[in-house]
Each structure stands twice: as structure tokens, then as C-alpha cells.
Amino acid sequence: MPDLLYDKSDHVAVITLNRPERRNAISVAMLEALHEALLDADRDDAVRAVILTGAGRGFCSGLDIKDAVEGKGIGGAGALAPTGGAVHIRTRELPTVTLHEMDTPVLCAINGAAAGYGLDLALGCDMRLMSDTARLLPGFARRGIVPESGGTWYLPRLVGWAKACEIGFLGDELPAERALALGLVNAVVAADDLLDEAHRWAAKIAANAPLAIRAMKRLFRHGLSEDFDAHSHHVLMQLMLLFRSQDFQEGLMSFLEKREPKFSGR
């Protein structure tokens, strides 16, 4: 079976890391496949929300260290080390970068342990639902490294400076309820209900106006680096475009007619 599964139905794409025997450790091939799958979902007008999860008992145990030790996997600083010499992955082709730049909402269903790169991958998603039996493992300092794929950027923004330092410097395992209390996840769900709940959230997103959702995500992202005046200007420009959309008219008419809207994404 392929190491990455992609399924699409009812405007929702589900991407599943599929190396359960290795707790979904990320190989070179998986990095490339995940980057492409995320791009495909973002470019597909029929996809309005993405669910990212793992097969089996783990979400993602990080980059495949075993392959790296054997000289055929992922080395330091984003380098590949296949037979014939090192090859470098371009930063913009890393899935964590793709997650940050895409406009389609991504919901992470953390079904098991998320460690190393797997934790950064989860943090790069827009929302996180976590199984009550799952764990976050921020043990970077225990391996002599730092969160290399977005964690140092996301953690202070998600939980604040002091808590980010607590998570990174102590490196303690974070069970689901602790992750929720810290604000790292949106909700904790019983393990058997995790995917169903993720689909319920994704279906709610997909039922809303997709142009507005994508614009909102873009504005959230840009707002992280803009001052208020510049950001307000960009918001008004975006509103001018949305006012001309069929979805805006449908939103108004459905409200007046007291019915559920049916958005076309146009």
C-alpha cells in the first residue's frame, strides 16, 4: 500500500500518513507526496476542507531516523542522503511550509503520538482535534536539536512566550488534557470518535462560503506580520471582491428566505 493515502468526498479531502508499522515516520518519498497532496487539495475548487491524520496507533513519530542512520533517509538541515550523494530539498517544497501557505483550511486529527516533525506538522494545521489516548512529544532538546519545521514559529504564537519555553526547554510528554489546557489543541475527543468528529468539523467548514473561508485564512496569515492600518486596508480590498461574488448574494438571500445557504464557490 502507498505510504500516503488521499481520499476526497463531499468537499472534504482526507490525507492519511500510512506507515503504521513505523508509527508513520516520514520518509523522503512521504515528504514529497505530502507536499504534492496538500498542493492538489489547495488547487482543487471541489475541496473546501482537508483532514490530516495517521493510520494505526500513531499520528507521526517524526522524520525517519532509522533511514537517516542507514544513509538513505533524511539527514540534518533538510538534506536528503540517498545513494550517490546528498540532495537538498527546497524549503518551499516542505509540507510544513505548504501548510502555512495554502488557503484551504486544514484540520489535524491527532490519533496517536505526535513527535518531532510530526508535532510540527500538527502545529502547522489550522485546527487540531486530539484523541484522548494521544500524546504530544516535544523532545527536541533531548535529541540535541530544535523544532526544525515551524515549531519555533508556531509555539510562541499559540501559547505565549513563557509556555513555549516550558514546552521546548523541559521537553515533557504532553497528554491530551494537558495539550488542551495549554491551547495546543482545539478539542479532545474519545479515540473511537476522533475521525467522525473531524468529519463533522470539516463538513461545517465546507458548508460555509469557500471564497470567504479562503480569504479569511489568508487575512489571518497576513495579519501576523502587518500593522493594523495596513491590515484593515487589505480587509477592505478583500471585502470589495467578496461583495461581487455569487456566494455573497446567496448568503443574503438565504438569510432573508430563512433557509440554509448553498454556496457555489463563485
Residue 68: the pLDDT is: 59
Residue 86: the pLDDT is: 44
Model pTM? Answer: 0.89
| Residue 127, burial from CB neighbour count under 10 angstroms (0-12, 13-18, 19+) | middle
Residue 49: the pLDDT is: 98
Cα of first residue to Cα of last residue in the chain, in angstroms, is: 37
Per residue of the chain (266 residues), give pLDDT as tens. Answer: 699 999 999 999 999 999 999 899 998 889 999 999 999 999 999 999 999 999 999 999 988 866 656 655 555 444 444 444 444 556 667 899 999 999 999 999 999 999 989 999 999 999 999 999 999 999 887 777 777 788 889 999 999 999 999 999 999 999 999 999 999 999 999 999 999 999 999 999 999 999 999 999 999 999 999 999 999 999 999 999 999 999 999 999 999 999 999 999 99
Q: Which CATH architecture has domain 4-206?
A: Alpha-Beta Complex (3.90)
4-206 and 209-256 in the same fold = no
Give the domain ranges of the chain: 4-206, 209-256
CATH for the 209-256 domain, from 3.40.190, 1.10.12, 1.10.287, 1.10.730: 1.10.12
Chain centroid to CA 93: 15
Shortest CA distance to 100 belongs to which of 125, 63, 128, 77?
125
Residue 180: the pLDDT is: 97
Beta strands in 90-199 (DSSP E): 106-110, 114-115, 127-131, 135-137, 174-175, 187-189
C-alpha distances out from residue 27 to 66, 107, 180, 181, Å:
10, 22, 29, 32
